Amino acid sequence: MSKMTLKGLKSTIKHYIDSGDYEGARNYARNFGDEFEKFNTNEALAEIDRAEKGNKKIKED
């Protein structure tokens, strides 16, 4: 099994959001977010919540 990268994590979360699977996106953020110093799990969860409420624009780095 390959190791998750920061780019892969962000891409996966975006994919789940775009697919409407917000719980899946949250699971990835919670399960892998702490592995990356440059990833803010709380911010990601807030972005997922905003997307679920209708704001589909996700911050890109």
Each residue's pLDDT tens digit, 6-32: 999 999 999 999 999 999 999 999 999
CA distance 44 to 25: 9
Asked whether residue 59 is domain-assigned, the answer is no
Give the range of the structural domain holding residue 15, as residue numbers without chain letter. Answer: 6-52
> Taking the model in full, what pTM does it have?
0.83
Task: Share the mean pLDDT of the chain.
Answer: 90
Domain contains 14: yes
Domains of the chain: total:
1
Any domain includes 60: no
